[in-house]
């Protein structure tokens, strides 16, 4: 299938990860214990980030990640500070648990249960759009209307959040699903979304869409902007319909069928 999005760029998180790995390797060559302490610091930071993501998304799979990273942190810190042979049994126990949780983490990642769906959503929105013609604007677009109860919207919100499709921001009269939230805002519990790509469902049934300039430029071609906004809105309206029917697994199947790379397109 021909992708409409440009190949992914290296994100800030990716760059930080690479730099940390290089520093770890360099330290490993210089001093084993210092390298272990540095590794403990990195894994602890990763555990904190995972914990915040868990709190923001309510995706329980991140709990496994938090535990795995904390165990790794304990193990590395233990190696850095104490004699391994003196606490051999403790180290084996922690290492065993760590391997178990890390394996689970890898399995969940391969199953796409911990995968952010930003690129899938943007690709899915662009699928029916073949017209080009730019037309970028800062105005949001009303993509349609549908009937749903507050309870249905709440349930849909919970699903979208847990499955990492978007981060919901609650306002007095509507819920906004922010599709491409930067990690900084996610970690800072920031509610600012106006400059991002979002889809809003208000309590009167209006569905409004906004595609940010940054996300629009992620497409290879200058796709017809109004068609793209309409398509993204229709995607979400379709998801809402499926959610109301209890067919949420179909939404995930639809996103998985795009076969995005788990690591580079996360």
Partner 1 sequence: MDFKKAAILGSCISKDYAEDLFRLLVTYQDISASEAASRLNLHIKTVQDFLEAMASPDILSKKEVLEKKRPYFRYALNTRYIDMKIDLNPLFNKQQEVSKNPMKIRERNNAGARFSTSRDGQYISHVALWIGKGRDRKERKINLSIPQGKFLFHLPFPSADPLSIEDIMKKAEVANSNSSEVLDIVNVMVEYGVIEKEVDDR
Cβ distance to partner 1 smaller for residue 109 or 206: 206
Give least dist CB 24 to partner 1, A.
45
When the beta carbons of 13 and 171 are compared against partner 1, the nearer one is 171
Smallest separation, CB 232 to partner 1 (Å): 13
In the complex, least distance from residue 212 CB atom to partner 1, rounded to whole angstroms: 13
Q: How far is the CB of 168 from partner 1 (least distance, A)?
A: 14
Residues that bind partner 1 (CB under 8 A): 131, 133-142, 171-174, 176, 194, 200, 202, 206, 208, 224-227, 229
Long-range contacts of 163-167 (CB under 8 A, 24+ apart): 163/59, 163/117, 163/248, 163/251, 163/252, 164/57, 164/59, 164/114, 164/115, 164/116, 164/117, 165/117, 165/121, 165/239, 165/251, 165/255, 166/117, 166/121, 166/198, 166/199, 167/56, 167/57
CB closer to partner 1, 93 vs 133:
133
Q: Which CB sits closer to partner 1, 111 or 132?
A: 132
Residue ranges of E strands in 95-224: 141-145, 167-170, 174-178, 198-202, 206-210
| Cβ closest to partner 1, residue 88 vs residue 192 | 192
CB of 147 vs partner 1, minimal distance in Å? 17
């Amino acid at each position: 299938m021909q992708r409409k999005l440009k190949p992914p760029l290296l994100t800030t998180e990716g760059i930080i990860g690479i730099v940390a790995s290089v520093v770890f390797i360099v330290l490993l060559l210089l001093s084993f214990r210092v390298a272990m302490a540095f590794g403990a610091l990195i894994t602890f930071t990763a555990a904190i980030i995972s914990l915040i993501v868990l709190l923001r998304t309510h995706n329980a799979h991140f709990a496994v990640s938090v535990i795995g990273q904390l165990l790794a942190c304990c193990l590395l810190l233990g190696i850095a500070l104490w004699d391994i042979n003196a606490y051999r049994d403790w180290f084996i126990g922690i290492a065993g648990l760590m391997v178990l949780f890390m394996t689970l983490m890898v399995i969940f990642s391969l199953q796409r249960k911990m995968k952010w769906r930003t690129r899938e959503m943007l690709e899915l929105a662009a699928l029916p759009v073949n017209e080009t013609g730019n037309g970028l604007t800062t105005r949001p677009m009303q993509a349609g209307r549908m009937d749903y109860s507050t309870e249905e919207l709440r349930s849909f919100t919970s699903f979208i959040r847990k499955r990492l499709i978007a981060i919901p921001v609650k306002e007095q009269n509507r819920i906004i699903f922010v599709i491409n939230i930067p990690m900084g805002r996610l970690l800072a519990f920031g509610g600012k979304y106006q400059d991002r790509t979002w889809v809003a469902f208000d309590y009167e049934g209006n569905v409004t869409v906004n595609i940010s300039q940054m996300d629009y430029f992620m497409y290879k071609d200058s796709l017809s902007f109004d068609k793209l906004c309409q398509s993204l809105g229709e995607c979400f309206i379709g998801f809402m319909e499926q959610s109301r029917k209890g067919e949420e697994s179909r939404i995930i199947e639809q996103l998985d069928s795009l076969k995005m790379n788990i690591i580079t397109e996360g």
